[in-house]
Homo-oligomer: A and B are copies of this chain.
Amino acid sequence: MEDAVTIPLDAETKAAERPGDHKAELRLWLRLLTCTTLIEGEIRRRLRDTFDVTLPRFDLMAQLDKTPSGMTLGELSSRMMVSNGNVTGLVERLVSDGLIDRRPAPKDRRAQIVSLTAEGRRTFRAIARTHEAWIAEIFESLSSSDTETLMRMLAKTKTSAGNAIRSEKSR
């Protein structure tokens, strides 16, 4: 077994080392992906139809709302929940709409700190209140015990995936 630690294994070898049927895990992953895609699509549609706002724009404002002192573009990119290749473009538009402010970082004037304006905060919070009600509606059939169980199982999943990612990177 020491070999497995010292000799990097390619994916095919690893696949061969995990013989047997992994259909249960594959079905689980596809169900997890289906649920997320279904809910994300619905939230995306409602944000657009109700507030004329895209999901990445809402997500960006949500990250800034959590950090009143603001953050750099790099921090902002790494915190966003939905992938978006163009944080700079989103920021440009939010600045020109008066919803966010941009200023040089005090310690590194080449970096820029962005934060919500008062109007940006008001706008975000109005949308966020409705967004929260949508999420409650979407999960309505789950009891609070179901919610707790699902939270616990997803925490395990996150830890398990994190371990797989770290062990892959250290190979």
Taking Cβ atoms with an 8 Å cutoff, the residues of A that contact B are 10-12, 14-15, 18, 22-40, 42, 46, 50, 81-83, 129-130, 132-142, 144, 146-147, 149-151, 153-165, 168
The interface residues of chain B lying within 8 Å CB-to-CB of A144 are 24
The interface residues of chain B lying within 8 Å CB-to-CB of A50 are 10-11
CB <8 Å contact, A25 and B81: no
Q: If A24-B144, A25-B135, A136-B22 touch, does A161 touch B35 (CB 8 Å cutoff)?
A: yes
The interface residues of chain B lying within 8 Å CB-to-CB of A138 are 25, 29, 160-161, 164
Contact of A160 among B24, B132, B141, B165 (CB under 8 A): B141
Q: If A25-B147, A142-B156, A150-B153 touch, does A39 touch B161 (CB 8 Å cutoff)?
A: yes
Chain B minimum-CB-distance residue to A137:
B164
Chain B minimum-CB-distance residue to A24:
B147
The interface residues of chain B lying within 8 Å CB-to-CB of A22 are 132-133, 135-136
